Amino acid sequence: MKATLRSALLITLCFGLAGYTQADEPPRPECIAPASPGGGFDLTCKLAQSALLQGEYLSRPMRVTYMPGGIGAVAYNAVVAQRADEPGTITAFSTGSLLNLAQGKFGRFDETAVKWLAAVGTSYGAIAVRADSEFQTLEQLIEALRKDPSKVVIGSGGTVGSQDWMQTALVARAAGINPRSLRYVAMEGGGELATALLGGHIQVASTDISDSMPHVESGDMRILAILADERLAGDIVEDIPTAKEQGFDVQWPVIRGFYMGPDVSDEDFAWWKGTFEHMLASDEFATLREQRELFPFALTGAELETYVKEHVAEYKELAGEFGLTQ
């Protein structure tokens, strides 16, 4: 009997040190990807899905569901207004979500309407073309845009003011081109964007590294420029030049993470927060993150909330510079 009691206490202690217990596991775990399958939100949810199951933080696979619309607006409103207290539901967000919040594109709800759970990695904006494109360098693309911007069809995830639009707008401004003169086709997420580019329906995609690298590795796509301060580390990505080194000083990091509904209990939120903190510190998660071409960036809870509020304020100023404020 004493041996059994000691074993039970040891098991309890081990789980306590890990920051969660099996009894605390939320029912029906679900990750909402606020776009169609295949893009960055999908990647973010599936990264968490794999890491939570592989690390045995969940006893069952987390379901991934898709809720496209407004590049995150439909999901944000649904979580806040209809699914506010669900203990097992997390929703993916990105820097683009924060940019949309800064412009009031999520309706009556602002950045204070949800509980910001965790940021799990960062990618960087990228300007991509098909492998057989006539544009071999960013400078060649810029020259074509200077000559006649209406002749180059650029695809972006979202309309004017979206993250993808902002990336090319910043590059255009750096090149002395009026961003409003560029010819855009709006897509609903990175999966649709890649399909349009590879299908020849657009000539250029404003995307990011994590979305585009699988197509680069397959030989179907080329990246003309990464919007980072310096070249990134990696077997393939290290050979891709930055926009900055090509004369256009533009950086656009794309953080990826999750939020929860505003009425989720403190206990349920604490379970997710502690689980993510434990997971983010593990070597296993670092491997999974690297496989998805994401780079280290980890914030949880109050620290993430502060980051979000600060950057939404910055993006409001940026939106004002481009005449995007509502």
Q: What is the CA radius of gyration of the chain?
A: 21
Do 29-122+254-321 and 124-253 fold alike per CATH?
A: yes
Structure-block tokens of residue 106: 């999520």
Which residue type, as a one-letter code, is found at position 21? T
Give residue 326's pLDDT: 56
Q: The domain at 124-253 falls in which architecture?
A: 3-Layer(aba) Sandwich (3.40)
Domain boundaries of the chain, sorted by first residue: 29-122+254-321, 124-253
The predicted-structure confidence for 67-92, as pLDDT tens digits, reads as follows 998 879 999 999 999 999 999 999 99
The predicted-structure confidence for 206-256, as pLDDT tens digits, reads as follows 998 888 888 999 999 999 999 999 999 888 899 999 999 999 999 999 999
Q: Which residues of the chain have pLDDT under 50?
A: 1-23
Cβ atoms of residues 303 and 257 within 8 Å: no
State the Cα–Cα distance between residues 243 and 228, nearest whole angstrom: 8
Give residue 187's pLDDT: 85
- Looking at domain 29-122+254-321, its CATH superfamily turns out to be Bordetella uptake gene, domain 1 (3.40.190.150)
Give residue 16's pLDDT: 43
Give residue 10's pLDDT: 41
